[in-house]
A and B are shown apart, each in its own frame.
Chain A
Amino acid sequence: MTTPFFGDPLGLAAEARWRESIEQRLTNLEARERVVVPAPLFPRPVNAFPSSDWYQATTAAGFTPLWEMIVPRWTALGAWVEFDWRTGAGTTGEVRLLSALGNASSAVVLGAASSGTITFRWLHNEDIWTDSVLWLTARRTGGANSVEVAFPHAALIPPTGCTLAGV
């Protein structure tokens, strides 16, 4: 550990090696305890229960919260949200994340009569440990059919790889 020996009478080299090993073990522990907490979003009570394949729909022209996560405390600076979406014939839309404190990600455009998967890695820009609400919102920007967003998978994650835009 720190015992001096011939050639290292003050034990400085041994001390340095010991410190290095301690640093490495701490790094390993931190890696295992990285703050990634799966945190589900649920349908908003004002909306109908999701359809049989768990899509929430909107035809509103303004951004409408379709899925909601109550955040008792932000335990991480980033939010990871991944979900499937689909639009009806001739119908276009947009989705974005919005918090109760008014912060929002960039909007992602949804093409007409299509489907896909979107992954947000969003820096929510709110103080750690504050309480908030996270909404996955959508709106229709054209056409007469619905914009639909499936049950989102979500987690609170470290800020690495996250941006204020989120995408």
Chain B
Amino acid sequence: MPIIPTDALAHDAFAEDVERRLAWMESTRRVWPVYNLATGPGLGIGVASGVAVLTTSATFIEAWHARFPTLIGPAIDLGFYVYLPLGVQGEIKVVLVADGTTYESAPHATAVGSDAFRAITTHWLPGAPLGSGECRLSLYVRRLAGADNVQAFQPVRFSVRDPEGATTAPDWLEEAYP
């Protein structure tokens, strides 16, 4: 506990210093650490080769999920690869269940497959209150078109982090990989 100066001038200088340092702490992104979550496979889904979930389902299935005891950051950062055989198109979305309330991102339809990997990322602001208890964060996948499997690989990034740059919709970024 710092000793608060008693003479008026030193006291005001001390108070200003406290205000300035607090304002810096409140504004800086350092108060939002990035936590990478470990993901396991979704409900009842077999995992091929240990790292990819395969599906031909026309309805969304939970491909990967992470659970954690409390929401420690306002935004979700997701990065993963999807393999799309020729003519196969998939659709993905992120779902957060926090304290029993469900928050769902807007879905993203992938490009039509050409026997290639695609890298998909998003930075999503679900709007769940910080400190919410028992959370389940899931990546859902389904097939929109084609005859083969959509292959959703285990996320390389499934993080709880700061809101900087995150959107509520969210914006999806999809690129050819490599």
Contact = CB atoms under 8 A, between A and B. Distances in A.
A61 interface: no
Contacts of A77: none
Given A33-B31, A34-B72, A153-B38, 4 more contacts: A31-B131, A34-B131, A52-B47, A54-B47
B160 to A, nearest CB: 8
Given A37-B35, A38-B35, A52-B47, A151 B40 contact: yes
A126 interface: no
Contacts of B37: 38
Given A22-B18, A40-B38, A53 B69 contact: no
A46 interface: no
B98 to A, nearest CB: 14
A83 to B, nearest CB: 9
A53 B45 contact: yes
Interface of B: 11-12, 15-16, 18-19, 22, 25-26, 31-32, 35-38, 40-41, 44-48, 50, 66-70, 72, 130-131, 160
Contacts of A155: 68-69
A25 to B, nearest CB: 5
Contacts of B12: 1-2
Nearest to B25: A29
A52 B46 contact: yes
10 contacts: A2-B11, A18-B15, A33-B31, A36-B68, A36-B69, A37-B35, A38-B37, A53-B41, A53-B47, A151-B41
Contacts of A41: 38
A82 B40 contact: no
Contacts, number: 74
Contacts of A50: 50
A26 B175 CA distance: 43
Main secondary structure of the interface of B (DSSP, over half): mixed
Given A32-B31, A82-B67, A155-B68, A52 B15 contact: no
A82 to B, nearest CB: 5
A28 B35 CA distance: 20
Contacts of B16: 1
Contacts of A2: 11-12, 15
Contact of B40 (A22, A28, A29, A54): A54
Contacts of B130: 31-32
B45 to A, nearest CB: 7
Contacts of B15: 1-2, 18
Given A26-B22, A36-B72, A49 B50 contact: yes
B2 to A, nearest CB: 11
A85 B31 CA distance: 36
A157 interface: yes
B74 to A, nearest CB: 10
A150 interface: yes
A80 interface: yes
B69 A157 contact: yes
Nearest to B73: A32
A155 B108 CA distance: 30
A98 B136 CA distance: 25
Contacts of A38: 35-38, 66, 68, 160
